[in-house]
Amino acid sequence: MSYNRCGNSGLKLPSLSLGLWQNFGAVDSPKNAQNMLHRAFDLGINHFDLANNYGPPFGSAESTFGQVMAKSFKPYRDEMLVSSKAGYDMWAGPYGIGGSRKYLIASCDQSLKRTGLDYFDVFYSHCYDPETPLEETMQALDYIVRSGRALYAGISSYSPVHTKQAIRILQDLGTPLLIHQPSYNMFDRWIEDGLSDVLLEEGVGSIVFSPLAQGFLTNKYLKGVPQGSRASRSEQIYLTEDNISQEKVAKVMQLNELAIQRGQSLAQMAVAWVLNNQAVTSAIIGASKVSQIEDCVAALDNLEFTQQELINIDNILGK
């Protein structure tokens, strides 16, 4: 595992981090979850990414992590980075969603209890809330850091403009923004339209989620939607059978051929591709079994692209 400096901070992140968005909830196998967490850590993945509403049901991924933390990870806490977030809906009523100080601090406290941790390494505003002054949201992150609930502040899925505003507010408060967590993969390249430039100019790191486009940038969907895959799960809203078009599958097949020429799986090439963006500090991988984590880590053996390979990828995707 290689470790990269996060922006201008003193913190290093592993090139790959493990996200617990899917497959770590109460509906999933606790033994499989433990095996994936253990194997990831043994491979040098020491950063685990959570959020209050990961599951299902909401909160259960944090509880699953907390059980493994108490059982086997506790002696290694100082060698680990654990992050969580709040912003999307978590509980019913007016205070269980958004960017208010009340919601963020209450949610952070609940997340600490579920994980059994004394502090998070990073706590994020999970999404921009247009109904809450940005100053209030950033003041809440500043308080969470100053009160010892987290070591660093982060934001997720903020636009370039709102990111720049958040950076300025946190600078004035004396708690610099450590990191931004946006989605990024070959199909979803929105960060290239300004956000990457802002992060590089401001010395802020980034950790990208969905580098495999929810599993679409693997060879899993080349012959339809297999039973038990992410797209087949009833609660899935981001990758569904309806948005797996033949046109997209044809592009994935061409990308798969290019990956084979590179001596990689498609998933490995997709991971290597996002890490090729110099604004990216780490990529968050998701997994449903240990072998998928091992496959992604093997991508680190070949991160270099020729200029022609990058051109070929752009041509396949119509960029």
Q: What is the pLDDT of residues 259-307, one digit of tens each?
A: 999 999 999 999 999 999 999 999 999 999 999 999 999 999 999 999 9
The DSSP letter of residue 70 is I
Q: What would the pLDDT profile of 82-105 be if each residue is shown by its tens digit?
A: 999 999 999 999 999 999 999 999
Structure tokens at 258: 């290019």
Query: Checking DSSP bridges between strand 47-49 and strand 282-285, what pairing results, if any?
Result: unpaired
Q: How does residue 230 score in pLDDT terms, banded at 50, 70 and 90?
A: low
Question: Is the confidence at residue 137, as pLDDT, over 60?
Answer: yes
pTM: 0.93
Peptide bond into 56 cis (omega under 30): yes
CATH of 3-220+269-303, one of 1.20.140.160, 3.20.20.100, 3.40.50.300, 3.20.20.80: 3.20.20.100
Residue-level pLDDT at 196 = 98
Residue-level pLDDT at 245 = 79
Q: What would the pLDDT profile of 164-217 be if each residue is shown by its tens digit?
A: 999 999 999 999 999 999 999 999 999 999 999 999 999 999 999 999 999 999
Looking at the chain, the whole-number percentage of residues with pLDDT higher than 90 is 89
Residue-level pLDDT at 260 = 97
Q: How does residue 222 score in pLDDT terms, banded at 50, 70 and 90?
A: confident
Residue-level pLDDT at 232 = 47
| Domain boundaries defined on the chain | 3-220+269-303
- Give the whole-angstrom CA distance, residue 107 versus residue 120: 12
SS3 category, 120: strand
What are the helix (H) ranges across the chain? Answer: 30-42, 60-68, 101-115, 134-146, 160-173, 195-202, 246-261, 266-275, 290-297, 307-317
Residue-level pLDDT at 239 = 54
Dihedral angle of Cα 59, 63, 64, 67, to the nearest 10 degrees: 180
Question: Is the confidence at residue 231, as pLDDT, over 90?
Answer: no
Q: Is 65 exposed, middle or buried (0-12, 13-18, 19+ CB in 10 A)?
A: buried
Q: What would the pLDDT profile of 16-58 be if each residue is shown by its tens digit?
A: 999 999 999 999 999 999 999 999 999 999 999 999 999 999 9
Across 126-130, 212-216, 219-223, which has the greatest mean pLDDT?
126-130
Q: How far is CA 139 from the centre of its chain?
A: 23
Structure tokens at 123: 């706590």
Q: What would the pLDDT profile of 232-244 be if each residue is shown by its tens digit?
A: 445 455 555 566 7
Asked if residue 102 lies in contact with residue 139, where contact means CB atoms within 8 angstroms, the answer is no
Q: How does residue 227 score in pLDDT terms, banded at 50, 70 and 90?
A: low
Residue-level pLDDT at 319 = 86
